[in-house]
Amino acid sequence: MFKVNEDYLKLRGSYLFSNIGKKVNTFAAEHPDASIIKMGIGDVTQPLVPAIINSLHDAVDEMGHIETFRGYAPDLGYEFLRKAIADNDYKARDCQIEADEIFISDGAKCDSGNIQEIFAKDNKIAVCDPVYPVYVDTNVMAGRTGSFDEKSETWSDVIYMPCTEATNFAPELPKETPDLIYLCFPNNPTGSTITKAQLQEWVDYANKVGAVIIYDAAYEAYISEKDVPHTIFECEGARTCAIELRSFSKNAGFTGTRLGATVIPKDLKSGDVMLHSLWARRHGTKYNGAPYIIQRAGEAVYSPEGKAQLKDQVAYYMNNAKCIMEGLASAGFSVSGGVNAPYIWMKTPDKMTSWQFFDYLLEKANVVGTPGSGFGPSGEGYFRLTAFNTYENTVEAIKRMQKL
Amino acid sequence: MFKVNEDYLKLRGSYLFSNIGKKVNTFAAEHPDASIIKMGIGDVTQPLVPAIINSLHDAVDEMGHIETFRGYAPDLGYEFLRKAIADNDYKARDCQIEADEIFISDGAKCDSGNIQEIFAKDNKIAVCDPVYPVYVDTNVMAGRTGSFDEKSETWSDVIYMPCTEATNFAPELPKETPDLIYLCFPNNPTGSTITKAQLQEWVDYANKVGAVIIYDAAYEAYISEKDVPHTIFECEGARTCAIELRSFSKNAGFTGTRLGATVIPKDLKSGDVMLHSLWARRHGTKYNGAPYIIQRAGEAVYSPEGKAQLKDQVAYYMNNAKCIMEGLASAGFSVSGGVNAPYIWMKTPDKMTSWQFFDYLLEKANVVGTPGSGFGPSGEGYFRLTAFNTYENTVEAIKRMQKL
């Protein structure tokens, strides 16, 4: 008689954003006239820019003619895209990453969920608290997290690194030594960042203790300050301890277009085994590449027109972030993030819990945000707002919140 | 100190098709004037049909305007595509499968590799021999297959079901009871099929012993004979024991466009746990949906124009299959398959091993096929040819083989 993977059954409720979706749908059904503004899930609203649209049309035409039709893509991605990423995201910043160290995928969420698979089951993970739920949940599903304690809302075999007001929402080096360290800067959900010197400390620490840093750089395009690193490979020694996840979702609006990339330097080894080889084997065996036309769209992100158009798109969202930050601060809310990231992290007023404030905001202002506690116990009493809505909706939402 | 997943290190060499690719590239580099005809990897050559191209262009345009732009897709796929599949592939055949039992993905290879994850590690798998390597390799990576025996070229914890000339290339019910049974009909690599009555025996068996059948229907569009089932859900009782994998790669030429679907009936349970819920949770946590524009392309497969154009495309490839079958038979080769499938399974001549014949054919005829032994020990002495090349190349390849 077949049996199911018991580790799946340990998962807490359903995925955070599915839960929010259900709550919002229920509210909308009961209040058909309410004009709900969604600033919860980090989904974008601006259309793909013309350079990308043109590239997509061209690639579609190629697929319609036998001379230019493309079947199976190279396992690890088309050379044209891997080279564009290597040149623009790494070599242009004096980081030594080669095209063949870059793996193209259908998104950073998939990669951040799948990457744990190439590590031993008894490796211990360390995560920031609060944290993007995918890092923890996928390790729960792999049986790597021990048992869940209902009181502390933590897993017995996970090292939590609290990111609170006291630490300026940055993690401190853990007391217990981890094997895998998940870091995400600019951070989801807090919108916080760390300096290059701070990140260098993490790289030195990982090399010292023999840990791998899984570095999620999905929000890199939103960095506005000088001393904030755009990639972990700006740090010396990162090639022997770091894997970097890159997304096209937020810098180019690909949430519904799906494209990502993972960088594994060939110097990152366990004994003689390159993690690069293991990930290549996973790609070859369980994956068949991102669609050709989508990879061409990714290439357009790095064209001169694409770069210029996307710079404007990021500026548009960051203007929203500024509007949220200033509007809420002037109304007496305590807010952070929003300067190098499209996320604003606010303290809930009147000591409400995160979910109480979620319900209150939905009910009274018809505005949807994300409860901070959904990202981990240290997120309790916080709330995440995203800058990804339209400017008009953002202004309207802040007006409503100011009236509360 | 971090450690790697030791189960990955148990994998045999690299993925079969990567190996073939390397061999062919080496030969091509050494023989720059050779006109190599590829009939190895099951990749298609005909361009996407006009109905699909039009649909792609329309969807690209939607992504370029704020009113019609689409961000994150629904976790399990767009309703329009799930409904098209439910209506056309199931309800039209009187099979009771609802749209919300269908999960859209970026391909059947990914799904066939990932599906094992929702089952317990100590579940025992049964596979046909020869078999599509992904079923076995992904179970090796999950630590489910025991140790490899170099002599027999088998895994200690895998039940092999030989599909040989003696059994008409169909598997027989295994003596040892499995928990998971992988079946693929029309078969890759042998091109063989089983009748609806034969498949019903498997469904009855699975229900009796409490096993799950993972049924790969990727080649369903190539069925030409009446008594061959197009889906396992034509069989009574399949809703309590079967998962079906569907592909758009071969029926619509999506090898480089990437789209698939997996069907898990809500009646398929272990105790109270629906496998449907576990797969939904996996999709929600580790996946972010297929691109919107690709899902629209999938919808076009079911439009009246799409259906007509794809019927012609399948007929084109099946004419190639006929040409291969007849051409090789007349030259004295022993061939099977090719009637309900785009694959021709031939015996190697002169008792050559599969890889000897691969090298011989590449060297003497500059034709690439797939060594049968790459699919499992019972594939030794066989060779797979695909009908997916152009008609001109197919005719030329057969001419060269006839001269050998």
CB-CB under 8 Å, A291 with B294? yes
The shortest C-alpha distance from A253 to chain B (Å) reads 8
Please count the residue pairs, one from chain A and one from chain B, whose beta carbons lie less than 8 angstroms apart: 252
Q: Are residues A14 and B60, on separate chains, in Cβ contact within 8 Å?
A: no
β pairing state of A260-263 and A148-149: unpaired
Question: Distance between CA B5 and CA A386 in Å, rounded?
Answer: 37
Q: Which of B15, B106, B120 has the CB atom closest to A6's CB atom?
A: B120
Residues in chain B: 404
pLDDT above 90: percentage of residues in chain A: 96
Residues of B in contact with A180 (CB under 8 A): 2
Contacts of A230 (CB under 8 A, 6+ apart): A89, A93, A217, A220, A223
Tell me the pLDDT tens digit for each residue of A240-274: 999 999 999 999 999 999 999 999 999 999 999 99
Whether A47 and B64 lie within 8 Å, measured CB to CB: yes
DSSP class per residue in B146-192: --EETTTTEETTEEEEE--GGGTT-----SSPPSEEEEESS-TTT--
User: In this complex, which of B110, B210, B288 lies closest to A2 when CB atoms are compared?
Assistant: B210
- Cα torsion angle, A89, A91, A97, A103, sign: positive
Q: Which residues pair with B274 in a beta bridge?
A: B269
Residue A392: exposure state from Cβ atoms within 10 A (0-12, 13-18, ≥19): exposed
Residue in the structure block whose two tokens are 């004295």: B332
Res A12: pLDDT: 84
Record: contact A291-B258, CB cut-off 8 A: yes
What number of other Cβ atoms are within 10 A of residue A122's Cβ? 10
Name the residue with tokens 């009446």. B226
Q: In which band, very low, low, confident or very high, does the pLDDT at A311 lie, cut at 50, 70 and 90?
A: very high
What's the DSSP call for residue B4? B
What per-residue confidence (pLDDT) applies to B17?
79
Q: How far is B112 from chain A (nearest CA, A)?
A: 8
Q: Are A343 and A386 in contact (CB under 8 A)?
A: yes
Residues counted in chain A: 404
Q: Judge contact between B369 and B39, C-beta under 8 A.
A: yes
Provide the pLDDT for residue A135. 98
The SS3 call for residue A39 is coil
Token match 């009555």: residue? B197
Cβ–Cβ gap A45/B211 under 8 Å: no
State the pLDDT at residue B42: 83
Residue B260: its chain A contacts at CB < 8 A? none
Of B2, B72, B211, the CB nearest to A210: B2
**What pLDDT sits at residue A309?**
98
Interface contact A291-B257, CB threshold 8 A = yes
Contacts of A116 (CB under 8 A, 6+ apart): A125, A138, A139, A142, A144, A180
Give the closest of B117, B284, B290 to A5, CB-based. Answer: B117
H-helix or E-strand spanning residue B86: none
Claim: this prediction has a pTM higher than 0.95: yes
> Please, are residues A290 and A262 in contact by the beta-carbon 8 Å criterion?
no
- Determine contact, residues A12/A18, Cβ cutoff 8 Å: no
Residue B176 token pair = 């040892």
Q: SS3 of B230, please?
A: coil
Residue A14 has a pLDDT of 66
Q: What is the chain B residue with the closest CA to A48?
A: B64
Q: What is the pLDDT of residue A16?
A: 79
Instruction: State whether A113 and B15 contact (CB < 8 Å).
Output: no
Q: Which residue of B has its CA nearest to A18?
A: B284
Burial of B275 (0-12, 13-18, 19+ CB in 10 A): buried
Test the A interface: residue of B12, B49, B61, B72 with most A CBs within 10 Å: B72
**B255–A138 C-beta distance less than 8 A:** no
* Phi-psi category of residue B161: left, alpha or beta, with phi > 0 → left and psi -120 to 50 → alpha: beta
Residues linked to residue B162 through DSSP beta bridges, in sequence order: B129
Residue A148 DSSP symbol:
E
Please, what's the largest Cα pairwise distance for chain A? 66
Check A69 against B9: CB less than 8 A apart: no
**Distance (Å) from the alpha carbon of B323 to chain A's nearest alpha carbon:** 21
C-alpha closest to that of B252 among B49, B106, B42, B45: B49
DSSP structure string for B243-292: EEEEESTTTS--TTT--EEEE--TT-EETTEEHHHHHHHHHHHH-----H
3-state helix, strand, coil in chain A (%, to 5): 45, 15, 40
How large is the average pLDDT for residues A349-357? 96
**Per-residue pLDDT tens digits of chain B, which is 404 residues long:** 999 999 999 998 766 777 898 999 999 999 999 999 999 888 999 999 999 999 999 999 999 999 999 999 998 999 999 999 999 999 999 999 999 999 999 999 999 999 999 999 999 999 999 999 999 999 999 999 999 999 999 999 999 999 999 999 999 999 999 999 999 999 999 999 999 999 999 999 999 999 999 999 999 999 999 999 999 999 999 999 999 999 999 999 999 999 999 999 999 999 999 999 999 999 999 999 999 999 999 999 999 999 999 999 999 999 999 999 999 999 999 999 999 999 999 999 999 999 999 999 999 999 999 999 999 999 999 999 999 999 999 999 999 999 98
> Which residues in chain B touch residue A57, judged by CB atoms under 8 angstroms apart?
57, 60
Query: At a CB cut-off of 8 Å and minimum separation 6, what does B304 contact?
Result: none
| Among chain A residues, CA nearest to B179 | A2
Sheet of strand A370-371: strand arrangement: A335-337, A343-347, A382-386, A370-371
Residues of A in contact with B137 (CB under 8 A): 285
Interface ipTM: 0.96
Query: What per-residue confidence (pLDDT) applies to B40?
Result: 86
Chain B residue with Cα closest to A21: B74
Residues 6 or more apart whose Cβ sits within 8 Å of residue B30: none
Angle at which helices A50-63 and A292-300 cross, to 10°: 150
Contact B245, B360 (CB under 8 A): no
Query: Which residues in chain A touch residue B106, judged by CB atoms under 8 angstroms apart?
Result: 106, 258, 288, 290-291
- What gap in Å lies between CA A40 and CA A342, rounded to an integer? 12
Report residue A18's pLDDT band, with 50, 70 and 90 as the boundaries: confident
DSSP bridge partners of B261: B104, B246
**Tally of CA atoms within 13 A in the half-sphere of B386 that contains its CB:** 22
CB contact at 8 A, A337 and A370: no
Residue A13 has pLDDT above 80, yes or no: no
In chain A, % of residues over pLDDT 70: 100
Residue of A nearest to B41 (CA): A72
Instruction: Please give the Cα distance from B62 to B55 (Å, whole number).
Output: 11
Residue B14 confidence (pLDDT): 67
* Alpha-carbon gap, residue A38 to A35, rounded angstroms: 10
CB contact under 8 A, B212 and A2: yes
Give the nearest chain B residue to A12 (CA atoms).
Answer: B281
Do B4 and A118 lie within an 8 Å CB cutoff? yes
Instruction: Report the 10 Å Cβ neighbour count for B367.
Output: 24
Is the bond into A265 cis (omega within 30 degrees of 0)?
Answer: no
